[in-house]
Structure 1
Amino acid sequence: MYAKCGFISEANMLFYMMPERNTATWNSMIFGYANHGYCDEAIELFDQMEKSEGNKLDHLTFTAVLTACSHVGMIEHGQSLFLLMQQKYKIVPRLEHYACMVDLLGKAGNLNEAYDLIKKMPIKPDLFVWGALLGACRNHGDIGLAEVAAKHLAELEPENGKNNMLMSSLYADAGSWENVSRSKKMMKRKRLKNFPGCSWIEEAS
Structure 2
Amino acid sequence: MKITAIVGSPRGMRSRTRRLTNLLLAGANDAGAEVDLVDLADLQIIPCTACESCSLDGRCVSTDDFPAAYDRMRDADGLVFASPVYVDNVSGQMKVFIDRLADAIHYQNFARKYGCSLATTQVSGGDAVVGYLNHALNYLGVTTVGGMSVALGDDPEALDRAEPAVRDLGRRLALAIGDRPRYPDQEAEMAENREYFADIVRANRDWRPDEYERWVRAGWIREE
Query: What TM-score does the superposition give when structure 1 sets the normalisation length?
Result: 0.31
Structure that is richer in helix per residue: 1
Larger Rg: 1
Structure scoring higher RCO (CA < 8 A, sep ≥ 6) equals: 2
Query: What TM-score does the superposition give when structure 2 sets the normalisation length?
Result: 0.29
